[in-house]
Amino acid sequence: MSYACGGHDHSFSRRKMLGLLAGAAGGLLAPPVARALQSKQRQVLMIWLDGGMSQLESWDPKPGTDHGGPFRSIPSSIPGVHVSELLPYTAKRMHKLAVVRSMQTKDNSHSIGVGRMLRGDPVNRGVEYPYMGSAIAKLLDKGESGLPPYVWIKPGSSGFVAQHAGFLGGRYGALALGDGRPPTHLQAGVPAEMEQARQELRRAADARFKESRGEADVDAWEGCYDSALKLMRRKELFDEAAVSRADRERYGTHALGRHLLQARRLLEAGVLFTKVTSFHWDTHADNFAMHQELMPQIDKPFSALIDDLDERGMLDHVVVILMSEFGRTPKINGRWGRDHWPEAWSLALAGAGIQKGVVVGKTSPDGAFVDESAYDVGHLFHTVYRAVGINSAETFYKHNGQALAIAREDMEPMKGVLA
Amino acid sequence: MRIAADPAKAWEMKAFKHDKILTTCKFSRCGEAVLAGSFDGMIHRWVLETGEHSIVGSHATWISAILPGPSDRLYSTDFQGNVKAWDLATSTPVWKIDAAHPGWLKTAALSPDGALLASGGRDGMVRLWSSADGKLVRELKGHGRDVYSAAFHPDGRSLATGDYDGKILHWDVSSGKLVRSLCSGLLVTRDPEFLCDVGGVRALAFDAEGKRLAASGLRDAKSNTFCPGVPAALVFNWETGKAGATLKGKDDKMDGGIIALRFLSDGTLVGCAEAQTSGAIWFWKPGETDAFHAVTGQSVYEVDLRPDGMSVAGVFFTPIGPGGNGRASKRGEYVSNGGTVRVFGLYDKPAPAKPPPKAAAPKK
Name the residue in chain B with its Cα closest to that of A86.
Answer: B103
pLDDT at B48: 98
Of B40, B274, B331, the CB nearest to A334: B274
Residue B203 counted as domain residue? no
- A70 to chain B: which residues are within 8 Å by CB? 39, 61-62, 78-80, 104
Asked if A263 and A45 touch (Cβ cutoff 8 Å), the reply is yes
CA–CA separation, B334 vs B339, rounded Å? 16
Q: Tell me the nearest-neighbour CA distance from B175 into chain A, angstroms.
A: 32
Asked if B181 and B169 touch (Cβ cutoff 8 Å), the reply is yes
CA–CA separation, A10 vs A215, rounded Å? 16
Residue B108 counted as domain residue? yes
Residues A341, B276: C-beta atoms closer than 8 Å: no
pLDDT at B2: 64
pLDDT in tens, B301-333: 999 999 999 999 999 999 999 888 886 678 888
Residues B326, A343: C-beta atoms closer than 8 Å: yes
CA–CA separation, B289 vs B8, rounded Å? 16
pLDDT at A216: 64
Give percent helix, percent strand, percent coil of chain B, each to the nearest 5.
0, 50, 50
B214 to each of A59, A334, B189, how far by Cα in Å? 40, 25, 19
CA–CA separation, B21 vs B320, rounded Å? 10
Residue B114 counted as domain residue? yes
* Residue A16 confidence class, pLDDT cut points 50, 70, 90: very low
Residues A290, B227: C-beta atoms closer than 8 Å: yes
The residue among B107, B188, B189, B195 with the most chain A CBs within 10 A of its CB, best to mutate, is B195
pLDDT at A31: 36
> What's the CATH number where B156 sits?
2.130.10.10
Residues B103, A85: C-beta atoms closer than 8 Å: yes
* Residue B144 confidence class, pLDDT cut points 50, 70, 90: very high
The residue among B334, B335, B340 with the most chain A CBs within 10 A of its CB, best to mutate, is B334
Between A225 and A127, where is the model more confident? A127
Q: What is the mean pLDDT of residues B285-292?
A: 96
CA–CA separation, A152 vs A46, rounded Å? 9
Work out how many domains chain B is built from and give that number. 1
Of A290, A297, A334, the CB nearest to B276: A334
Asked if B83 and B100 touch (Cβ cutoff 8 Å), the reply is yes
Residues A369, B331: C-beta atoms closer than 8 Å: yes
Spatial neighbors of A401 by CB under 8 A, at least 6 apart, are: none
Asked if B86 and B93 touch (Cβ cutoff 8 Å), the reply is yes
pLDDT at A185: 62
**Partner residues linked to B280 by β-bridges:** B273, B296
Residues B226, A364: C-beta atoms closer than 8 Å: no
Q: Tell me the nearest-neighbour CA distance from A244 into chain B, angstroms.
A: 24
Of B223, B324, B335, the CB nearest to A280: B223
Residues B195, A330: C-beta atoms closer than 8 Å: no
A284 to each of A79, B1, B224, B258, B319, how far by Cα in Å? 33, 50, 9, 18, 15
Residues A332, B195: C-beta atoms closer than 8 Å: no
pTM metric for this prediction: 0.91
**Which range, of A218-222, A312-316, B54-58, B223-227, averages the lowest pLDDT?**
A218-222
Q: What is the mean pLDDT of chain A?
A: 87
- DSSP codes, B184-252: -GGGEE--TTSSS-EE---EEEE-TTSSEEEEEEEES---SSS---EEEEEEEETTT--B-SPBB-S-T
pLDDT at A11: 44
Of A67, A70, A289, the CB nearest to B62: A70
pLDDT at B209: 97
pLDDT of A175 higher than 50: yes
Residue B313 counted as domain residue? no
pLDDT in tens, B210-243: 999 999 999 999 999 999 999 999 999 999 999 9
CA–CA separation, A376 vs A408, rounded Å? 10
pLDDT at A202: 84
Of A292, A335, A339, the CB nearest to B274: A335
For residue A91, which amino acid is it? A
- A329 to chain B: which residues are within 8 Å by CB? 325-326
The residue among A336, A343, A363, A369 with the most chain B CBs within 10 A of its CB, best to mutate, is A336
* Residue A211 confidence class, pLDDT cut points 50, 70, 90: confident
CA–CA separation, A401 vs A389, rounded Å? 25
Between A168 and A8, where is the model more confident? A168
Q: What is the mean pLDDT of residues B147-157?
A: 98
CA–CA separation, A254 vs A28, rounded Å? 40
For A134, the enclosing helix (H) or strand (E) is: helix A132-139
Name the residue in chain A with its Cα closest to that of B23.
Answer: A336
A60 to each of A65, A348, A368, how far by Cα in Å? 12, 11, 11
pLDDT at A3: 25
Of B80, B122, B226, the CB nearest to A285: B226
pLDDT of A229 higher than 60: yes
Residues B193, A366: C-beta atoms closer than 8 Å: no
Q: In this structure, how many other beta carbons lie within 10 angstroms of the beta carbon of residue A197? A: 11
Nearest to A122 by CA among A415, A403, A416: A403
Q: What is the mean pLDDT of residues A180-201?
A: 76
- A290 to chain B: which residues are within 8 Å by CB? 195-196, 224-225, 227
* Residue A28 confidence class, pLDDT cut points 50, 70, 90: very low
Residues B225, A282: C-beta atoms closer than 8 Å: yes
Nearest to B28 by CA among B59, B3, B61, B52: B52
* Residue A194 confidence class, pLDDT cut points 50, 70, 90: confident
Tally C-beta pairs within 8 A across A and B: 135
pLDDT at A35: 40
Q: What is the mean pLDDT of chain B?
A: 95
* Percentage with pLDDT > 90 across chain B: 88
Q: How many CA atoms lie within 13 A of A407 on its CB side?
A: 24
Residues B299, A334: C-beta atoms closer than 8 Å: yes
Q: Tell me the nearest-neighbour CA distance from B234 into chain A, angstroms.
A: 22
Of B275, B323, B327, the CB nearest to A108: B327
Residues A282, B277: C-beta atoms closer than 8 Å: no
pLDDT of A38 higher than 90: no
- B38 to chain A: which residues are within 8 Å by CB? none
Residue B85 counted as domain residue? yes
Asked if B292 and B335 touch (Cβ cutoff 8 Å), the reply is no
Q: Tell me the nearest-neighbour CA distance from B190 into chain A, angstroms.
A: 13
* Residue A372 confidence class, pLDDT cut points 50, 70, 90: very high
Of A284, A289, A343, the CB nearest to B225: A284
Over the range A274-311, which residues count as b (16 or more CB within 10 Å of their CB) and which as e?
bbbbbbbbbbbbbbbbbbbbbbbbbbbbbbbbbbbbbe
Nearest to A390 by CA among A4, A46, A36: A36
* Residue A234 confidence class, pLDDT cut points 50, 70, 90: confident
CA B3 vs. chain centroid, Å, equals: 25
Q: What is the mean pLDDT of residues A288-307?
A: 98
Q: In this structure, how many other beta carbons lie within 10 angstroms of the beta carbon of residue A172? A: 26
Residue B207 counted as domain residue? no
Residue B247 counted as domain residue? no
Per the structure, the complete domain to which residue B96 belongs is given by 59-164
pLDDT at A320: 98
Residues B299, A341: C-beta atoms closer than 8 Å: no
* Residue A39 confidence class, pLDDT cut points 50, 70, 90: low
Residue B141 counted as domain residue? yes
Asked if B130 and B175 touch (Cβ cutoff 8 Å), the reply is no
- A103 to chain B: which residues are within 8 Å by CB? none
pLDDT in tens, A112-151: 889 999 999 999 889 999 999 999 999 998 777 889 999 9
Of A293, A335, A368, the CB nearest to B276: A335
- B228 to chain A: which residues are within 8 Å by CB? 285
pLDDT at A111: 82
Residues A66, B335: C-beta atoms closer than 8 Å: yes
Pairing between β-strand B158-163 and β-strand B167-172 as defined by DSSP bridges: antiparallel
- A254 to chain B: which residues are within 8 Å by CB? 195
- A108 to chain B: which residues are within 8 Å by CB? 325-327
Between B330 and A284, where is the model more confident? A284
Asked if B247 and B218 touch (Cβ cutoff 8 Å), the reply is no
